[in-house]
Homo-oligomer: A and B are copies of this chain.
Amino acid sequence: MDSGRCELIVVGDEILLGQTLDSNSRYIARRLTDNGMRLHWISVVPDDKDEIKTALDRATGRASAVIITGGLGPTADDFTRPVIAGFFADNLVWRQDLADAILARFEKRAIRPSPGWETMAYFPSRAAAIPNAHGAAPGIHYNYVRDHKGATAVVTPVADSLQSVAIEPVFREAGRQLFALPGVPVEMRGMFEDYILPRLIAARKGVFKSRIFKTVGAGETHLAACIGDPAVLAPATLAFLPSLDQGVTLRLSCSGDDVNLVHPVLEKGSAIIRTAIQSYIYATEEIPLEAVIIDILRYRGWKAAFAESCTGGMISARLTSIPGASDVFERCFVTYSNQAKVELLGVAPDIIENYGAVSEQCARAMAEGACQQAKVDIAISVTGIAGPGGGTVEKPVGLVYIGVADRGGSKVKRFTFAGDRDDNRRRAALAALTMLYRKCINA
């Protein structure tokens, strides 16, 4: 057994049939990494008793913690509960407290209990129930050991936590943990955060701390070159996490025996990173770029408007995805036709005739027009050729002009992206938000 090894088993035909994207795995992987642990293996298995049993046998033989998601519901293809109990040579017994909790939940929501709800109250006799704040099915927590041949499993009782959720370290001497959770993301996440993660953190040897730096305006290669040899950050390590919509996130992590040793390492590393790439950093916490922009606009008391052509409303959709966007966002003109650019933004027809709708001149007129027409403090404009059609030798697919205007004037930048339509549009949206952010922060 690797004392820090963690494996995940995902039960679900819907994933193996390609009907559902497995977002649970990424969530669990990310949250473990955020907290100085890691996932070593993911097995996605069918809704089939033998396959689940095989996966349990493999995972419990190597890992100190196994998380299994899916198959805990009341329908005929939910096998996880009886298979786990059978695997540990345990029995399912009626738990009145669980039945009461399940029924109370249905009653509170004024809906009839799902057919077969009773099966969820038959619970493994030697496992603890994991409370489920967002659904009916309780999770299952076993504390177990395996003998030297690895052939059999012995279960030791754990304190039941449906009422009490005291957090104890789980990696006891020779004790391993198995946690079973429902596959519904909102239920899984709540139970993972409230029950599993605190136990894994409490059991983690030593301390682990990390800092994040969210950046826009530079690629991974350039950021790495600015920072130089990552050995100067040792014993901390640096990871680069690029995203098409949010720029590159850097995570500086360090583990050690004592927080008093880890802390100065991170302080020094943060100073090195900040000095090297300060102008690209927009946040040092998990917050999207659009939320940072809204905060700055609100602080300045500014209103913003957009004029979008090739991005077709994506920038506006992104900004308004954040609650409170209405404090700072006035309107967006999606001027897809030339006529709309002329009528709504006051772009002179001569500009379109002489330079084309995808031109520096048009981008500038769009940004200035949006600023004036919407009577806002700042506006951005985007016009370009997203593809796959519409490109020429002079104006190829991927050519995008982005303008930004405020009451003091305007400026335009030219970009050439090399992706497909979706890629070019997403990159243009990020570039436009980046220009908006820069203009706001440097005002």
In chain B, what residue has the closest Cβ to A20? B26
Fill in one digit per residue for A7-39: 1 if any B CB lies within 8 Å of its CB, else 0. 000000001111111110111111111100011
Residues of B within 8 A of A330 (CB): 336-337, 339-340
Q: Assess the B21–A33 pair: CB atoms within 8 A.
A: no
Residues of B within 8 A of A339 (CB): 330
Partner of A312, one of B16, B320, B344: B320
Query: A22-B22, A25-B22 are known contacts. Are A389 and B323 too (CB-CB below 8 A)?
Result: yes
Q: With an 8 A cutoff between CB atoms, is A144 at the interface? A: no
CB distance from A236 to the nearest CB of B (A): 16
Oligomer: number of copies: 2
Residues of B within 8 A of A15 (CB): 25-26, 29, 42
The tally of residues in A whose CB lies under 8 Å from a CB in B reads 68
Query: A44-B42, A331-B340 are known contacts. Are A21 and B26 too (CB-CB below 8 A)?
Result: yes
Q: With an 8 A cutoff between CB atoms, is A326 at the interface? A: yes
Within 8 A of B (CB), among A218-267: 239, 241
Residues of B within 8 A of A336 (CB): 316, 320, 325-326, 329-332
**A302–B27 Cα gap in the complex (Å)?**
44
Partner of A22, one of B26, B335, B337: B26
Q: Assess the B42–A43 pair: CB atoms within 8 A.
A: yes
Q: With an 8 A cutoff between CB atoms, is A313 at the interface? A: yes
In chain B, what residue has the closest Cβ to A18? B30
Binding site for B on A (CB under 8 A): 15-23, 25-34, 38-46, 51, 58, 239, 241, 306, 308, 310-317, 319-321, 323-326, 329-337, 339-340, 344, 374, 387-389, 421-422, 425
